[in-house]
C-alpha cells in the first residue's frame, strides 16, 4: 500500500480519525476493473489482475459507490454507526453551517457572473445585412449615409453585386451586403431597426440580417 499524503479534514474532523475506507476481498475480486475506473479519488489500483485499495483514506466519507456496483460484492466498508457517532461527538454541524454559508455566497457570485456573461452575449455590436432590389434610382446609398451621419455607427464591407451591366440597365434585381457596426461597442439592435425601415421605405427586400 502506498503512503497516503496528508488528507484534508472532513468538516473539521481529521480524516485519519474517521473509520471509513474500502476493504477488498481478494478471493472474491474477479479483476473487472469497474471500481478502478469508477472511483474519482484514485483509491484503487489494479495489481496482478485484482483491485487493491492503495489510498483507502482518500475515499469520500459516506460514499459506497464502488461497493454498490462491484459485481461480486468484493468491497466492504465499516458500519456507518462510527461515522454518525463522530458527527455527534465532534459537533460538526456548527462547521457545516459555516460551510453552507460560504457555499451559498460562492453560488451567488457564480450565478451573478453567469447572468452578467449572458447579458453581455445578448448584446450585438455587429450585424450583416443582405438586401435585394433595384438600387440605381432609389439613392439608397445616399440615404444610408444620411442615417449614420453624426452617429456612433458605421457601415463596413459594403458590396453591390450587379448580375450583368445590361441587366442593371434593364433594372434587373441586384444584391447589396454590408455590415453594421457600433463604434462604441454598444448594442446595435435599435439602429438595425432603423436600417430595416429604410430598406422598406426604399421598396427594397431585406433578404437577411444576421447578428455577428
Ligand atoms: S469492482 Fe469488484 S470485482 Fe471488479 S475489480 Fe473492483 S473489487 Fe474486483
Ligand atoms: S466509496 Fe466512492 S470514493 Fe470511496 S473508494 Fe469507492 S468509489 Fe471511491
Establish whether domains 15-89 and 126-211 are of one fold.
yes
Mutate to test the pocket of ligand 2, among 4, 20, 21, 22 (most ligand atoms within 8 A of CB): 22
d(CA 163, CA 169): 11
| Ligand 2: centre distance to CA 82 (Å) | 18
- What confidence score (pLDDT) does residue 139 get? 82
The predicted model scores a pTM of: 0.62
pLDDT higher than threshold 80 for residue 20: yes
Pick from 68, 21, 73: nearest CA to 44: 21
Q: What is the CATH number of domain 126-211?
A: 3.30.70.2690
| Across 164-191, average pLDDT | 81
Q: What is the CATH number of domain 15-89?
A: 3.30.70.20
For residue 88 the three cell numbers come to: 455527534
Count of other CB atoms within 10 angstroms of residue 44: 26
- What confidence score (pLDDT) does residue 3 get? 44
Domain residue ranges in the chain: 15-89, 93-122, 126-211
pLDDT higher than threshold 70 for residue 39: yes
Mutate to test the pocket of ligand 2, among 38, 40, 41, 53 (most ligand atoms within 8 A of CB): 41
| Ligand 2: centre distance to CA 8 (Å) | 16
d(CA 169, CA 173): 10
| Across 6-32, average pLDDT | 96
- What confidence score (pLDDT) does residue 77 get? 98
- 114 pLDDT band, cuts 50/70/90, is very high
Task: Give the ligand 2 atom nearest the CA of 75.
Answer: 6
Q: Are 185 and 125 in contact (CB under 8 A)?
A: yes
Mutate to test the pocket of ligand 2, among 60, 67, 70, 77 (most ligand atoms within 8 A of CB): 60
Nearest bound ligand to CA 34? 1
Amino acid at each position: 500500500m502506498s503512503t497516503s499524503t496528508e488528507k484534508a479534514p472532513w468538516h473539521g474532523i481529521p480524516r485519519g480519525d474517521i473509520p471509513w475506507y474500502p476493504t477488498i476481498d481478494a478471493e472474491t475480486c474477479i479483476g473487472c476493473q469497474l471500481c478502478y475506473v469508477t472511483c474519482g479519488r484514485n483509491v484503487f489500483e489494479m495489481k496482478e489482475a485484482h483491485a487493491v485499495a492503495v489510498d483507502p483514506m482518500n475515499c469520500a466519507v459516506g460514499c459506497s459507490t464502488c461497493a454498490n456496483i462491484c459485481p461480486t460484492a468484493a468491497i466492504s466498508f465499516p458500519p456507518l454507526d462510527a461515522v454518525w457517532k463522530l458527527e455527534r461527538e465532534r459537533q460538526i454541524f456548527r462547521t457545516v453551517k459555516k460551510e453552507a454559508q460560504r457555499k451559498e455566497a460562492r453560488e451567488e457570485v457564480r450565478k451573478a457572473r453567469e447572468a452578467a456573461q449572458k447579458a453581455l452575449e445578448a448584446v450585438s455590436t455587429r450585424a450583416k445585412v443582405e438586401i435585394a432590389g433595384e438600387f440605381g434610382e432609389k439613392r439608397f446609398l445616399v440615404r444610408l449615409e444620411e442615417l449614420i451621419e453624426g452617429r456612433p455607427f458605421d457601415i463596413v464591407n459594403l458590396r453591390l453585386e450587379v448580375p450583368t451591366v445590361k441587366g442593371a440597365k434593364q433594372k434587373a434585381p441586384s444584391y447589396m451586403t454590408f455590415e453594421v457596426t457600433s463604434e462604441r461597442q454598444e448594442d446595435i439592435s435599435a439602429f438595425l431597426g432603423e436600417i430595416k425601415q429604410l430598406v422598406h421605405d426604399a421598396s427594397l427586400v431585406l433578404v437577411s440580417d444576421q447578428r455577428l
